[in-house]
Amino acid sequence: MSEFALRGAIYSLIGDPFFEAPADCVVYEADGLIWIRDGRIEAVGDYGALRQQMPDEVSIHHYPDSILLPGFIDAHIHYPQVEIIGAYGTQLLEWLNKYTFPAEARFNDPAHAQRIAEFFIAELQRNGTTAASVFCTSAPGSVDAIFEAAQKDNMLLLAGVMMMDSHAPANILDTAQSSYDASKTLIERWHKRGRCLYTVTPRFALTSSPQQLELAGALMREHADVRLQSHISENRAEVARAAELYPQRANYTDIYDHYGLLDERAIYGHAIHLSEGELRRFHETGAKIAHCPTSNFFIGSGLFDIARTRHAARPVTVGLGTDVGGGTSFSMLQTMSEAYKMAQLRGISVTAAQSYYLATLGSAQALGIDDRVGKLQPGYAADIAVLDPRATPLLALRADVAESIDELLFALMICADDRAVKATYVAGELVHDRDN
Ligand code: GUN
Ligand code: ZN
């Protein structure tokens, strides 16, 4: 049995601050203790009180002046696109053709896939991200590579082979049948192995034939607890093309709905240009959205409307994704910052609690993993990010005048990045230590 405890300020969302009063959904301990046993949280509380209950022999690692948060959860990221992050000058469809598809073709080589997968997992950890929903390529070996890399550190990772049989270069196309067969094999191999979870992954309607979407639906029916991830309504030219390819369908959402791809296990990236009727359908079916602001700004896709999407009359669950390499940073802090600015452009000021919710519990709910991660509470995995609010001279100056934890966390998400991640724990193991 391995047992230890972490001491520091503790901040964790346990409810949804878009709908509940902050006092009801935030747990904050100025001097807190997290008691960890065999990779799970045994107890969380005020240091003075919990110290009394914990056996004396349990060692305590103290992070004075640091904030312990649940590890960040990236609801949408592409590991094969790491090398093309920050590619100049295009919008979605041209960006895919010019940069993304050639980069993904390199993953037909398993050695390349392994090298980038290992880099990618380390980079997540450097950013305090402890779980992620990851897009691979159409090469089944790209899925083995990322799950193998994740498994080395016992990371909770959702991933699946990219299904794409149309309108892309031949060297990254599958067929409807081969993608179905590969998905099945990979589900058998990886789903629920360690902390790996399989996600059926049709890229988007533009690169899948009706037959392929039909088979993606079959995979979802045949495997009750695998997830589904895809893209929807990111860019206006994409929306128009989807309508051309599927003229019989009422709208973009209806394409996925028609093939049985819209339910509570599904999460769609972007969803910027959805109509009211489409959002209502997301709400009715329980399908989720991954909001990816750094990508939306960078590729020039549009301004996601968080207030409209989460409207109390028909709320849709939203998680936060970096969408690297369309997105420009692995940092969920930077991603929260850009989400804040995007909402500001629509006249909404997202609060610190709402932002950290999106990056932790919200993403967990959007991925159907909120029964095990996203909160610091007993029984949950000890997936923890340790943030140093004084990581740079500027941050230290700012922290000195912060009058509340909310003010401090807000300034941190606006101004900080990976330098503020002092340590990352995955299932109770230290996987990143900034200073050592
Ligand atoms: N839509 C379909 N594929 C992609 C992708 O790889 N990145 C982004 N941002 N949007 C997509
Ligand atoms: Zn994406």
Per-residue confidence (pLDDT) for residue 161, from 0 to 100: 99
Least distant ligand from the CA of 208:
1
Per-residue confidence (pLDDT) for residue 370, from 0 to 100: 98
Distance 129 CA to ligand 1 centre (A): 21
Does the global pTM surpass 0.85? yes
Per-residue confidence (pLDDT) for residue 276, from 0 to 100: 98
> How does strand 227-232 pair with strand 266-270?
parallel
Per-residue confidence (pLDDT) for residue 272, from 0 to 100: 98
Candidate from 81, 94, 234, 328 with most ligand 1 atoms within 8 A of CB, to mutate:
234
Coil, helix or strand for 30?
Answer: strand
Per-residue confidence (pLDDT) for residue 380, from 0 to 100: 98
Instruction: Indicate which atom in ligand 1 lies nearest the CA of residue 299.
Output: 9
Distance CA 307, CA 343 (A): 8
Q: What is the pLDDT of residues 241-252, one digit of tens each?
A: 999 999 999 999
Give pLDDT < 50 ranges for the chain: none
Cβ < 6 Å from ligand 1: which residues?
A: 78, 92, 96, 100, 203-204, 231, 234, 295, 323, 326
Candidate from 77, 100, 296 with most ligand 1 atoms within 8 A of CB, to mutate:
100
> How does strand 156-160 pair with strand 59-70?
unpaired
**Residue 167: how many other CB atoms lie within 10 Å:** 16
Per-residue confidence (pLDDT) for residue 138, from 0 to 100: 99
Per-residue confidence (pLDDT) for residue 1, from 0 to 100: 73
Residue ranges near ligand 2 (ion) with Cβ within 5 Å: 269, 323
User: Going by CA atoms, what residue is nearest to atom 3 of ligand 1?
Assistant: 203
Strands (E) across 124-224 are located at 129-135, 156-160, 162-163, 196-202
Per-residue confidence (pLDDT) for residue 173, from 0 to 100: 98
Instruction: Indicate which atom in ligand 1 lies nearest the CA of residue 295.
Output: 9
Per-residue confidence (pLDDT) for residue 401, from 0 to 100: 98
